[in-house]
Amino acid sequence: MAKRDYYEILGVGKDASAVEIKKSYRRLAMKFHPDRNSDDSGAEEKFKEAKEAYEILKDGDRRAAYDRFGHDGVSGNAGAGGGFGAEGFGDIFGDVFGDIFGGGGRRGASQVFRGADLGYELKLDLEKAVRGDSVTIDVPTQVACDKCDGSGAKKGSEPVKCTTCAGAGQVRMQQGFFSIQQTCPACKGAGTVISDPCSGCHGRGRISKTKTLNVKVPAGVDQGDRIRLSGEGEAGRNGGPAGDLYVEIRVEPHKIFDRDGADLSCEVPISFATATLGGEVQLPTLDGHVSLKVPAGTQSGKIFRLRGKGVATVRDHRTGDLFARVAVETPVNLTDDQESLLRRFEESVSAGGDRHNPRAGGWLDTVKRFFDKISN
């Protein structure tokens, strides 16, 4: 089967510069790397094909032979870069991206660094946190300069080999019997320096920009939950991968409900008459109002549990309960007639002894025994 044209594989023209060839290969290598395409059986073949094309075209002599004689001119060199596997994987991050940690890869390869992760605090009201929402946020970050595609060099130029370290990125210092190797102070370990910096980023390869992103908030998120947006952090340096953005949820206090995981709680004021005689009150929930039956003789502070009226959690989708604590409200701003009726009612209740106020009677007995014990 006839091999495809190397320029066609990389998607560049025959007059493409070394920078354009490297950029195209980097894009294809990351796209078709098998580690990122475990469910695509053809990804590895495309990866190998792109690697083979790059190995030939990045070398000036082999590229010249290929341009003159085609595949016949490089038939013995096509595999010089090694097959796929650990070496092939290292080629992506050693030759194209550089030595990330400064200890491996090819000498003189430009060091690349992953972009920093970013954090964003997203404030939501309780209803949106419970039901989910789609929110637009503006995030200040560092992105790759569009004028130089993140290289830092003026368009049409390339970084040049550092003269201090001869492109190695490291310099060796002799101290007595010891030889110490350290990062080159001139190129900061990159092995190259930018002699003609880009006017847009002044050689940094990145510029400040505010990105507008859409965040899909799943239903049931709670205080402190984080949503990870892969690749939406700061742009990497020297073509390194971008960092991630972590959106942390902050749920605003609610006027009615308090939340504890999947459960909700609220306080329900009821009248003295309702607490005494019993009745029904309308209780708010996140799904609308429900009727709560209050039995006669309900004391202030009693808690009623409404099953399934809480929150469905984002992890296990378990729906919690709603706990309603009743608070008997003392009447205020009474008229003279109302005060008179209330005094008559109090006299009537007092005449019945502890039968109407068992808690008060029991409390008074406890107090009496306490003082009797002190007196004795």
Q: Does residue 109 or residue 265 have the better pLDDT?
A: 265
Q: In whole numbers, what is the pLDDT of the chain averaged over residues?
A: 82
Residue corresponding to tokens 């469905």: 312
Q: Which residues of 82-102 are buried (b: 16+ CB within 10 A; e: fewer)?
A: eeeeeebeebbbbbbbbbbee
Residue 101: is its pLDDT beyond 60? Answer: no
Query: What is the predicted pLDDT for the residue at 339?
Result: 92
Average pLDDT over residues 73-84: 51
DSSP strand pairing (133-144 vs 303-306): unpaired
| pLDDT at residue 361, as a whole number | 56
For the chain, the structural domain boundaries read 6-96, 107-150+204-252, 258-370
- Helix, coil or strand: residue 274: helix
Q: 258-370: which CATH architecture?
A: Sandwich (2.60)
Residue in the structure block whose two tokens are 């109002």? 289
Q: What pLDDT does residue 90 have?
A: 42
Tens of pLDDT, residue by residue over 31-57, are 887 777 777 778 888 888 888 889 888
The verdict on domain 107-150+204-252 having CATH code 2.60.260.20 is yes
Is the predicted pLDDT of residue 105 greater than 70, yes or no? no
Residue 83 has pLDDT above 80, yes or no: no
Q: pLDDT digit string (tens) for 184-213? A: 888 877 788 888 899 888 888 888 999 999
Neighbouring-strand partners of residue 329: 271
Counting every residue, how long is the chain? 376
User: What's the pLDDT score for residue 46?
Assistant: 87
pLDDT of residue 232: 92
Give the closest residue to 238 by CA, choosing from 191, 181, 305.
191
In this prediction, residue 89 has a pLDDT band, given cuts at 50, 70 and 90, of very low
Q: Which residue has the tokens 């706990």?
A: 323
C-alpha 35/C-alpha 29 separation (Å) is 11
Residue 365: predicted pLDDT: 66
Q: Is domain 6-96 classified as CATH 2.60.40.10?
A: no
3-state SS assignment for residue 245: strand
Q: How far apart are CA 23 and CA 299, in angstroms?
A: 75
Long-range Cβ pairs for the range 101-110 (8 Å, 24+): 102/169, 102/183, 102/189, 107/167, 107/168, 107/169, 107/170, 107/191, 108/161, 108/166, 108/167, 108/168, 108/169, 108/191, 108/192, 109/169, 109/191, 110/159, 110/190, 110/191, 110/192, 110/238
**107-150+204-252 and 258-370 in the same fold:** yes
Residue for token pair 């094909």: 49
- pTM comes to 0.57
Q: What integer is the mean pLDDT of 216-231?
A: 93
Per-residue tokens: 80: 């010089």
What pLDDT band is residue 359 in, cutting at 50, 70 and 90? low
User: Which band of pLDDT confidence, cut at 50, 70 and 90, is reported for residue 138?
Assistant: very high
- Which position has the token pair 């637009």? 136
Name the H helices within the chain: 6-10, 18-32, 43-57, 60-69, 86-91, 126-131, 272-277, 336-351, 358-375
pLDDT of residue 34: 74
Nearest to 321 by CA among 351, 362, 286: 286
**How far apart, in whole angstroms, are the C-alpha atoms of residue 77 and residue 338?**
105
Closest to 30 in 3D by CA, of 13, 6, 54, 14: 54
Q: Choose from 2-6, 167-171, 246-250, 328-332 the range with maximum mean pLDDT.
A: 246-250
- Given a cut of 80, whether residue 260 has pLDDT beyond it is yes
